[in-house]
Each structure stands twice: as structure tokens, then as C-alpha cells.
């Protein structure tokens, strides 16, 4: 383990830990790095823990009265929007290669029609042909 302080970090430090089979970099701003690592490895990742907290917040938000504080409403809308985006990213990451390729090609066709055509032509020329000529 290698640890060092950045100038002016005021007690914040970065711990770089190497493991034989699973090297990683751990940034520890407070608490015990060994405890944090054990929680992430044995209980749930930070993302999973934040997901659980978001679910609780959104469930509680559903019970808010219509005349709730506008600042709280805005914060909850921000959390809702972020959660929707996170869900989409997770779905997209879990999607298969064909789905990802289709989405990327669709986006490319919108932003760079010439690039899209060149790519499709290049891919078409690389495809193996069947015995019928197609």
C-alpha cells in the first residue's frame, strides 16, 4: 500500500492499494479504508447503496402534499431525473451488442450522415457473401 497527501489537502489522502489478482485505486476521504473495502466487496457497492437510498427518497416523495416546499420538490425532481438516466444507462450497458450497434448507428446517422454511409458501405464490403451471391 502506498499513501500520500496532496499539498493543501487538509488531511485528505489517497491510498493506492495493489492486490495480486485485483489491482485497484482507492480514494479514502474519511473513515477506515479496510472497512469501506469490506462493505463494497461483501455487502453492496456504492452505486447499489445509493440506489437503495434513492428508492427510499422517491417512496417518501410520493407521500408529499401538493403544497410542499418548492425547493424540496425541485430537489426530488432532480433525483427522479437522475434515477431515470441511471436506469437507462444500466439498461443500455446490459443490452446486447446488436442493440448497442443499432443505437450507435442511429445516432451516427443523425449527427454524421456521410460518416454513417461510409461506415455502412465499409461494413457491407467486409461481410462474407453467401453462395447465392448475397
Complete DSSP assignment for 113-134: HHHHHHHHHHHHHHSPPPTT--
> Could you give the CA distance from residue 4 to residue 130 in angstroms, rounded to a whole number?
61
Predicted TM-score (pTM) of the model is 0.45
Check residues 115 and 15 and name the one with the higher pLDDT.
Answer: 115
Most confident of 2-6, 62-66, 108-112, 128-132: 108-112
User: In this predicted structure, what is the pLDDT of residue 123?
Assistant: 84
Q: What is the mean pLDDT of the chain?
A: 78
Using alpha carbons only, give the angle 97, 101, 102 rounded to the nearest 5 degrees: 120
Q: Which residue has the cell 407521500?
A: 63
Q: Helices in the chain by DSSP H: which ranges?
A: 33-42, 46-61, 70-94, 97-111, 113-126
> Could you give the CA distance from residue 15 to residue 28 in angstroms, rounded to a whole number?
7
Indicate if the pLDDT at residue 2 is higher than 70: no
> Could you give the CA distance from residue 102 to residue 118 in angstroms, rounded to a whole number?
16
Domain ranges of the chain: 1-43, 97-126
User: In this predicted structure, what is the pLDDT of residue 96?
Assistant: 75
Indicate if the pLDDT at residue 53 is higher than 70: yes
> Could you give the CA distance from residue 61 to residue 78 in angstroms, rounded to a whole number?
12
pLDDT tens per residue, range 66-121: 788 889 888 888 988 998 998 888 887 777 777 888 888 999 999 999 999 998 88
Which set of grid coordinates corresponds to residue 88? 437507462
Kindly report which listed range (10-24, 33-47, 50-64) carries the lowest average pLDDT score. Answer: 10-24
Amino acid at each position: 500500500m502506498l499513501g500520500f497527501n496532496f499539498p493543501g489537502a487538509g488531511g485528505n489522502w489517497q491510498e493506492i492499494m495493489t492486490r495480486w489478482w485485483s489491482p485497484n485505486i482507492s480514494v479514502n476521504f474519511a473513515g477506515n479504508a479496510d472497512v469501506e473495502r469490506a462493505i463494497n466487496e461483501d455487502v453492496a457497492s456504492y452505486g447499489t447503496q445509493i440506489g437503495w437510498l434513492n428508492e427510499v427518497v422517491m417512496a417518501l416523495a410520493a407521500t408529499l402534499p401538493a403544497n410542499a416546499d418548492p425547493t424540496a420538490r425541485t430537489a426530488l425532481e432532480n433525483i427522479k431525473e437522475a434515477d431515470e438516466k441511471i436506469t437507462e444507462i444500466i439498461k443500455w450497458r446490459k443490452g446486447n451488442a446488436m442493440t448497442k450497434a443499432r443505437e450507435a448507428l442511429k445516432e451516427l446517422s443523425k449527427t454524421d450522415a456521410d460518416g454513417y454511409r461510409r461506415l455502412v458501405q465499409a461494413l457491407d464490403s467486409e461481410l462474407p457473401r453467401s453462395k447465392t451471391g448475397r
